[in-house]
A = this chain, B = another copy of it.
Amino acid sequence: VLLASRPAGWVSEQNFRIEDAPLPQPGEGEVLVKNLWLSLDPYMRGRMNEGKSYAARQEIGEVMIGGTAGEVVESRNPKFAKGDKVLGMLGWQQYGLSDGKGLNKVDASRVPLSAYLGVLGMPGVTAWVGLLDICQPKAGETVVVSAASGAVGSVVGQIAKIKGCRAVGIAGGGQKCDYVVKQLGFDACVDYKAGALNDDLKAAVPDGIDCYFENVGGDHLQAALACLNPFGRIAACGMIAAYNQAVPGPDNLFFIVGKKLTIRGFIVSDHAHREPAFRRHVAPLVRSGQLVFSETHRQGIESALDALLDVLRGGRHTGKMVVDL
């Protein structure tokens, strides 16, 4: 699947083109990988824009960017052998060729390989770094996370609980909120689709908010600003509400001054040095079942666009969205 044109507003079918190509043959030092799962993530939307982004933008006519988990089918690189399970950024295609750079072998014997695209992969590190390094919550504090049922949010709240905090999610719909509280163990979850986000959030945080992990922006940020305590910290991980259309910012940003808040935007790739610590901490929690995760699977590369749209607009899925290739 190639990017055919840059979207104006919401992504649509017209922005993509599916092409068949012969199976590539690995040259000296190269590895041929059969992609088994494609990861769908909010950041993809930003890369499709013309403008300079924090990372190299996706070029038109090239394979759409994306994280993948797969299996080596042919290797002319001494570091990889046929059958190795690997993570990479091989994009929206069934097979990918790699020179080994950015390709990482993983142990899929104790957790499903696809989990390395979610709870043990980029979304997991994002949650962990954003919560622990950026927000630095203390036991007893209140942590709120938007998009709480998603791949990142679900980890944020569970780690917050493990650290002794009160964890409150914001999610869209009663079903997602049930999942967040009953399956993930958050203390509360506010359904923003119920139409009373400001009041409902206020009621869910009797001691105010100390740490806010932002995935959404817009009215979510506005509601959080009203509840944040003095010296509150906001980890700005995403503002998905504004990816496809401009939305006006909160009209209560003066709380940043009055409450002496710190807002820090971050991109997980700047925190790669924290990955070993993340894995040491989180992998045992996942294996023991103390940290739970869910995945939504869509079938076939043709479903990738719909899967991405669900990620961007908040579909009915919970947890990590992957496409089975």
Whether B265 contacts A236 by the Cβ 8 Å rule is no
Most chain B beta-carbon neighbours within 10 Å: one of A221, A250, A254: A254
Which residue of B has the minimal Cβ distance to A221?
Answer: B253
Q: Which residues from B are CB-within-8-Å of A262?
A: 262-265
Report the minimal beta-carbon distance from A200 to chain B, rounded to whole angstroms.
20
Other-chain contact of A253, B239, B255, B260 (Cβ < 8 Å): B239
Please tell me if A278 contacts chain B, counting CB pairs below 8 Å. no
Distance A270 CA – B266 CA, assembled complex (angstroms):
26
Please tell me if A248 contacts chain B, counting CB pairs below 8 Å. yes
Within 8 A of B (CB), among A261-279: 261-267, 270
Whether B248 contacts A251 by the Cβ 8 Å rule is yes
Within 8 A of B (CB), among A209-267: 217, 221, 230, 236-239, 242-243, 246-267
Which residue of B has the minimal Cβ distance to A256?
Answer: B265
Distance A263 CA – B134 CA, assembled complex (angstroms):
12
Known contacts A54-B230, A230-B54, A248-B248; A217 and B260 CB within 8 A of each other: no
Please tell me if A296 contacts chain B, counting CB pairs below 8 Å. no
Please tell me if A314 contacts chain B, counting CB pairs below 8 Å. no
Whether B221 contacts A242 by the Cβ 8 Å rule is no
Whether A257 contacts B230 by the Cβ 8 Å rule is no
Distance A67 CA – B246 CA, assembled complex (angstroms):
42
Please tell me if A290 contacts chain B, counting CB pairs below 8 Å. no
Whether B53 contacts A258 by the Cβ 8 Å rule is yes
Which residue of B has the minimal Cβ distance to A255?
Answer: B265
Whether B54 contacts A260 by the Cβ 8 Å rule is yes
Please tell me if A46 contacts chain B, counting CB pairs below 8 Å. yes
Known contacts A246-B251, A249-B249; A236 and B264 CB within 8 A of each other: no
Whether B260 contacts A266 by the Cβ 8 Å rule is yes
Which secondary structure dominates chain A's binding surface?
loop
Distance A37 CA – B255 CA, assembled complex (angstroms):
30
Whether B270 contacts A265 by the Cβ 8 Å rule is no
Report the minimal beta-carbon distance from A125 to chain B, rounded to whole angstroms.
15
Report the minimal beta-carbon distance from A301 to chain B, rounded to whole angstroms.
28
Distance A262 CA – B265 CA, assembled complex (angstroms):
6
Other-chain contact of A46, B221, B246, B258, B261 (Cβ < 8 Å): B258
Q: Which residues from B are CB-within-8-Å of A238?
A: 257
Known contacts A249-B248, A249-B250; A258 and B54 CB within 8 A of each other: yes
Other-chain contact of A265, B242, B243, B246, B257 (Cβ < 8 Å): B257
Most chain B beta-carbon neighbours within 10 Å: one of A46, A238, A249: A249
What are the nearest 8 A-B pairs in CB distance? Answer: A249-B249, A256-B265, A248-B248, A239-B254, A263-B263, A257-B265, A246-B251, A262-B264
Residues on A close to B: CB < 8 A?
46, 53-54, 217, 221, 230, 236-239, 242-243, 246-267, 270
Q: Mind listing 17 A-B residue pairs with CB under 8 Å? A: A46-B258, A53-B258, A54-B230, A217-B253, A236-B256, A236-B257, A243-B254, A247-B251, A248-B249, A248-B251, A249-B249, A249-B250, A257-B266, A260-B265, A260-B267, A261-B263, A261-B265
